[in-house]
């Protein structure tokens, strides 16, 4: 189109994009900047340049311990969410469950329901029925929140698959289990892969559930950071956070490799 | 085994998990909120709804959420439109810019804002330099800080929701409007905006519920004196240890969220089978 | 190779009765076409034989064994889907090997030999390691065919397999299908809405209408003697004329009285055949023109058109002609027809 967008609008649009991207990314940039600061005070722009906070973090027992806890739980959550979520996605895709529509809503609802509800509910329920909170409690709660991501990505992949493949496999002599293993599973793999990465990321970053369901000897990394922020943070917090950001960037790159992010530009 | 049984078996682990870690906990929360000193009662609800302090907390939560939703919609719509209309490479980077914050921990993001909005932070300095505030001013621990932090957290949700709808609008509709004499802006207003409305509404409903129930960002950005509903719940659970009261507050939050979400779900129900 | 017996099949989806009391006997090695318009139930019947749909009542027997309640994997069948349904994550060769794996036919080496043979049959041996997405539509269709025959099923089921191909590819595939049927002799059930396809390929045509069998018979029978208004409007009545096809050098049909009729270029049929010429495809002109010479026996006035009964090569044929030219009894006329509209029925 000739002169599709008038020049003043173009300028405004550019300004808007720059401002919005700034708002979106500034906090992250700031965190990374502070992490390289030399001084003990948190300031941006950072005063001096040093890697001392990274050294401190990587040598710190507490940070390492909470990182390991976060990692352990994230791995367990990824496994559980991928298996349960993948299977559920297949069942939902086929649409032959009783109350199919309602089921889909229930399975996907943790995506929109506030996490604090799950946190409180689980705390109260578990304390009453099972007593002490444990890693198991946190694992289950994280999985409930992470599973819909796996379901959503797997459903997206299944939606684009050939609907006749299972029937064809049946006419070729494949029984139920064989159809699931040789036909359905290969179709799901891109969705399961992306979902698994989302699940890992969700669990690792998760703060609300972990805040409510914690014990003194069981702290996750985000909770550790939260604790530091409430009192007297020094740039070591920034270093930890920067490492987490780097991790996230890695995740995004891997997911893009597998699936292409465009697919998830529609919710 | 028939088809139905196979599907039920596939859904079973997920269902089991939902029951154990979702339905039963919410049920327990509900029942605890109704447990008074002498059997079932509504005393916790009455306590909350008749105390001006708590009503103030509730009102603040709703008010801030409305502001946050409005800002997200005003920013999100043009941003989503631009994302939809630029070339694939630029759009790729914009998608990354939108998704990256979503995928970092909320504590990390909030920390970044704390640095920027604290007394020595760049933004507070900027505001002081402009003469809008006095010497010791900082943006931290104000309602504005909460809004700023939350907008950054929730803008991606709004943007992605609207983006999904805009990408499905036939660009030829805009072309037709232009050939009929409409300017770019008027076409935006008369063609794109109405057609994007479902995405804007859905995004708004989502952002509203997420901000009304948000805990980490408002607590860190607002400080102890500015409380939102989720913060009040946390306090009742961990500090004053009044669990039934906390449950009642959580139920109030939950019901409020559900009321807003019902139209959202109706708009977005995936169709399968 | 096996026979198939369908007895009193009834199938409804909700309140919609799709198949209404259909019984059918298909002999071993027969090539049967289920022909009809969309929604007449022919595909549903095929899927019932495959085990992809259940029946409300009635029974299905394959080779004397009642299979009505058996799932597809327990029936010795193979099916070719309209959309080919190739497994996208497997190579062409692995796709063709899949039924052998699932049905546990032979050891690995034997399976690979069968796969090679099947791919050679459809002339795709050189594409064995490709993925389905790298193939053209016609090539994918051939892979689907190879996959369907590799296990030598008792019954071969084809669900409108050629409808996604363009006209030329379709003709080539029709010849290939006929060829394969001649060689392997598999009992074949073929679903199509294209009557010309059914006429060329089948031993027997089953004409479907509204969930019931309207008529069945050999292609020649059905084409010449439609038993009902529906059948005749679906197929079109025609004149059947014995002729011998020679290539001298172009394809030409020689009638009993020595007259010659030009055929479509590229026709590969040769030898004795039956020509099918539709009443409405033939045109009349003054005697001595280019075409066949025939004599008018009678004329029936139909308002906008005339139906003429003519004598040609010792036979009576009928022609529907417009009103602009009128020929009297005893006149000699020239018969002409677009070579592309001449059908050769070889069965």
Of C71, C85, C89, the CB nearest to A168: C85
Assign A139 a pLDDT band (cuts: 50, 70, 90).
very high
Count of positions (residues) in chain C: 347
How many distinct structural domains can be found in chain B?
Answer: 1
Range of the domain at B138: 61-225
CA-based nearest distance A27→chain B, Å: 4
Do B24 and A17 lie within an 8 Å CB cutoff?
Answer: no
CB pairs under 8 A between A and C: 62
Question: Residue B273 — pLDDT band, cuts 50, 70, 90?
Answer: very low
The span from the CA of A16 to the CA of A22, in Å, is 10
Report CA-CA distances (Å) from C203 to A8, C40, C187, C282.
75, 21, 11, 27
Interface of A with C in 153-192 (CB under 8 A): 162, 164-165, 167-175, 178, 182-183, 186-187
Q: How does the average pLDDT of chain C come out, rounded?
A: 87
pTM of the model: 0.79
Q: Is B122 on the interface with A (CB under 8 A)?
A: yes
Q: Check: CB of residue C307 under 8 Å from CB of residue C313.
A: no
Contacts of A5 in chain B (CB under 8 A): 184
B124: which chain A residues are within 8 Å (Cβ-Cβ)?
none
Q: How many angstroms away from the CA of B196 is the closest CA of chain A?
A: 13
User: CB B108 to CB A206 under 8 A?
Assistant: no
CA C6 to chain centre: 21
Residue B40 placed within a domain: no
Nearest residue of chain C to residue A188 (CA atoms)? C89
In terms of average pLDDT, the best of A79-88, B5-14, B148-157 is A79-88
Chain B residue with the nearest C-alpha to that of A142: B21
Smallest Cβ distance to B25: which of A25, A26, A122? A122
CA distance B235 to B56: 16
A18 interfacial to chain B (CB closer than 8 Å): no
| pLDDT beyond 90 at C154 | yes
Start-end of H helices in B23-117: 24-33, 43-50, 52-85, 88-102, 106-117
Asked if the Cβ–Cβ distance from A173 to C89 is below 8 Å, we say no
Contact A208 B216 (CB under 8 A): yes
Q: Which residue of A has its CA nearest to C104?
A: A173
Q: Please state, in angstroms and rounded to a whole number, the distance separating the CA atoms of residues A256 and A264.
A: 10
User: Which of A207, A231, A229, A230 is closest to A219 using CA atoms?
Assistant: A207
Give me the DSSP letters along A239-264: HHHHHHHHHHHHHHHHHHHHH-GGGG
B-facing residues of A in 42-81 (CB < 8 A) are 42-45, 80
CATH code for the domain defined by C4-235:
3.40.50.300
Q: How would you label A214-241 residue by residue, b for 16+ Cβ within 10 Å and e otherwise?
A: beeebbbbbbbbbbbbeeebbbbbbbbb
Contact B233 A120 (CB under 8 A): yes
C-alpha dihedral sign at C49, C50, C55, C57: positive
Domains detected in chain A: 60-231 (1.10.3720.10)
Q: Tell me what pLDDT residue A180 has.
A: 94
**pLDDT averaged over every residue in chain B:** 87
Of the pLDDT bands very low, low, confident and very high (cuts 50, 70, 90), residue B272 is very low
The CATH number assigned to the domain holding B207 equals 1.10.3720.10
CA B53 to chain centre: 24
Kindly state the average pLDDT of the residues A178-200. 92
Domain map (residue ranges) of chain C: 4-235, 238-345
CB-based contact B11 A103, cutoff 8 Å:
yes
Q: What integer pLDDT is reported at residue B61 of this predicted model?
A: 94
Instruction: Spell out the residues 6+ positions from residue B83 whose beta carbon is closer than 8 angstroms to its own.
Output: B91, B94, B95, B98, B159, B163
Which of A84, A96, A113 is closest, CB to CB, to B17?
A84
**What is the per-residue pLDDT across C33-56, written as a single tens digit (0 to 9) for each?**
999 888 788 999 999 999 999 999
pLDDT in tens, A200-232: 999 999 999 999 998 888 889 999 998 888 877
Tell me: the pLDDT tens digits for A46-71?
778 888 888 888 888 888 899 999 99
Q: What residue has token string 């549903």?
A: C44
Q: Is A165 in CB contact (< 8 Å) with chain B?
A: no
B224: preceding bond cis by omega (within 30 degrees): no
Residue A265 predicted with pLDDT over 50: no
Instruction: Judge: B111–A147 Cβ closer than 8 Å, yes or no.
Output: no
Contact between B159 and B79 (Cβ < 8 Å): yes
Pairing outcome for strands C77-80 and C155-159: parallel
Structure tokens at C246: 């020679």
pLDDT digit string (tens) for C285-339? 888 888 899 999 999 888 888 889 999 888 888 888 887 888 889 889 999 988 8
Considering only CB atoms, which chain A residues are within 8 Å of C81? 164, 167-168
The pLDDT assigned to A41 comes to 78
Is pLDDT at A110 greater than 50 in this prediction? yes
DSSP code string of B208-256? HHHHHT--HHHHHHHTTTS--HHHHHHIIIIIS--HHHHHHHHHHHHHH
What average pLDDT does this structure show over A24-49? 85
Among all residues of chain A, which has the CA nearest to that of C97? Answer: A172
Q: Quick one: closest CA in C to A184, which residue? A: C87
> In CATH, what class is C238-345?
mainly beta
Residue A267 confidence (pLDDT): 36
Residues 6+ apart with CB under 8 A from C259: C292, C293, C312, C313
The shortest CB-CB distance from A164 to any of C85, C98, C103 is to C85
Residue B52 C-alpha, separation from nearest chain A C-alpha, in angstroms: 24
Q: Between helices B243-268 and B193-212, what is the axis angle to 10°?
A: 170
Using CA atoms, how far apart are residues C129 and C92, in angstroms rounded to an integer?
Answer: 6
Measured between alpha carbons, how far is B158 from B201 in angstroms, rounded to an integer? 9
Q: Is residue B37 part of a domain?
A: no
Q: Which two tokens stand for residue B126?
A: 């900027």
């Amino acid at each position: 189109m000739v002169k599709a967008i008038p020049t003043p609008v173009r300028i405004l649009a550019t300004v808007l994009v720059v401002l919005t991207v700034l708002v979106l990314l500034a906090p992250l940039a700031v965190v990374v900047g502070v992490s390289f600061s030399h001084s003990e005070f948190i300031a941006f722009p950072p005063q001096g340049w040093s890697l001392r906070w990274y050294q401190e973090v990587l040598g710190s027992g507490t940070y390492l311990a909470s990182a390991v806890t976060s990692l352990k739980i994230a791995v367990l959550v990824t496994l559980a969410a991928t298996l349960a979520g993948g299977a559920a996605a297949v069942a939902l895709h086929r649409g032959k469950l009783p109350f199919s529509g309602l089921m889909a809503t229930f399975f996907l609802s943790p995506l929109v329901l506030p996490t604090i509800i799950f946190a409180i509910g689980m705390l109260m329920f578990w304390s009453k029925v099972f007593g002490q909170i444990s890693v198991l409690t946190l694992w289950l709660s994280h999985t409930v929140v992470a599973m819909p991501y796996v379901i959503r990505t797997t459903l997206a992949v299944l939606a684009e698959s050939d609907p006749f493949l299972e029937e064809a496999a049946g006419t070729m002599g494949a029984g139920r289990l064989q159809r699931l293993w040789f036909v359905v599973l290969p179709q799901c793999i891109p969705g399961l892969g992306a979902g698994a990465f989302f699940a890992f990321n969700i669990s690792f970053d998760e703060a609300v559930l972990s805040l409510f369901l914690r014990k003194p000897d069981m702290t996750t990394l985000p909770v550790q950071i939260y604790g530091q922020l409430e009192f007297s943070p020094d740039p070591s917090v920034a270093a930890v956070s920067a490492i987490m950001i780097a991790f996230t960037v890695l995740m995004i790159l891997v997911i893009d490799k597998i699936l292409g992010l465009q697919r998830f530009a529609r919710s | 085994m028939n088809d139905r049984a196979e599907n039920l078996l596939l859904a079973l682990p997920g269902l089991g998990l939902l029951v154990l870690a979702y339905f039963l906990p919410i049920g327990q929360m509900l029942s605890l909120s109704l447990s008074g000193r002498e059997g079932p009662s509504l005393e916790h609800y009455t306590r909350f709804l008749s105390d001006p302090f708590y009503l103030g907390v509730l009102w603040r939560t709703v008010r801030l959420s409305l502001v946050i939703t409005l800002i997200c919609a005003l920013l999100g719509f043009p941003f989503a439109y631009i994302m939809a209309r630029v070339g694939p490479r630029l759009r790729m980077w914009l998608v990354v810019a939108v998704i990256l914050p979503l995928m970092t921990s909320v504590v990390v993001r909030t920390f970044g804002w704390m640095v920027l909005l604290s007394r020595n932070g760049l933004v507070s300095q900027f505001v002081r330099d402009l003469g809008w505030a006095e010497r010791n001013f900082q943006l931290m621990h104000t309602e504005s800080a909460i809004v700023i932090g939350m907008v950054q957290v929730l803008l991606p949700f709004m943007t992605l929701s609207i983006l999904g709808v805009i990408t499905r609008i036939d660009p030829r509709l805009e072309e037709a409007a232009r050939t009929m004499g409409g300017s770019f802006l008027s076409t935006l207003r008369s063609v794109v905006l109405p057609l994007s409305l479902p995405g804007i509404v859905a995004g708004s409903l989502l952002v509203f519920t997420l901000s009304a129930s948000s805990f980490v960002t408002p607590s860190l950005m607002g400080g102890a004196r500015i409380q939102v509903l989720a913060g009040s719940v946390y306090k009742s659970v961990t500090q004053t240890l009044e669990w039934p009261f906390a449950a009642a507050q959580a139920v109030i939050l939950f019901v409020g969220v559900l009321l807003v979400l019902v139209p959202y779900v109706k708009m977005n129900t995936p169709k399968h089978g | 190779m096996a026979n198939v017996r369908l007895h009193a099949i009834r199938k409804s989806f909700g309140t919609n009765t799709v198949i209404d009391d259909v019984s059918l006997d298909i002999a071993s090695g027969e090539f049967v076409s289920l022909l009809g318009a969309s929604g007449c139930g022919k595909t549903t019947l095929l899927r019932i034989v495959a085990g992809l749909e259940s029946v409300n009542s009635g029974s299905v027997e394959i080779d004397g064994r009642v299979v009505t309640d058996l799932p597809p994997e327990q029936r010795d069948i193979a099916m070719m889907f309209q959309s080919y349904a190739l497994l996208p994550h497997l190579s062409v060769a692995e796709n063709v090997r899949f039924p052998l794996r699932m049905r546990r036919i032979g050891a690995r080496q034997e399976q690979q030999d069968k796969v090679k043979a099947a791919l050679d049959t459809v002339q795709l041996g050189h594409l064995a390691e490709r993925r389905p997405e790298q193939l053209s539509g016609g090539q994918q269709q051939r892979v689907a065919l190879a996959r369907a025959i590799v296990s030598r099923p008792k019954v071969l089921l084809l669900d409108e397999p050629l409808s996604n191909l363009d006209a030329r590819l379709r003709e080539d595939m029709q010849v290939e299908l006929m060829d394969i049927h001649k060689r392997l002799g598999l009992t074949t059930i073929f679903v199509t809405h294209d009557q010309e396809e059914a006429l060329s390929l089948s031993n027997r045509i089953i004409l479907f209408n509204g969930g019931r069998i309207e008529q069945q018979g050999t292609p020649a029978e059905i084409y010449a003697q439609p038993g009902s208004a529906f059948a005749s409007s679906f197929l079109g009545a025609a004149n059947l004329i014995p002729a011998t096809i020679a290539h001298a050098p172009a394809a030409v049909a020689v009638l009993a009285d020595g007259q010659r009729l030009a055929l479509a270029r590229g026709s590969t049929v040769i030898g004795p055949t039956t020509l099918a010429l539709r009443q409405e495809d033939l045109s009349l002109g003054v005697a001595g023109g280019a075409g066949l010479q025939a004599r008018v026996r009678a004329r029936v006035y139909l308002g906008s058109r005339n139906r003429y009964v003519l004598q040609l090569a010792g036979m009576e044929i009928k022609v529907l002609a417009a009103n602009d030219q009128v020929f009297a009894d005893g006149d000699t006329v020239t018969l002409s027809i677009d070579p592309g509209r001449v059908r050769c029925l070889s069965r």
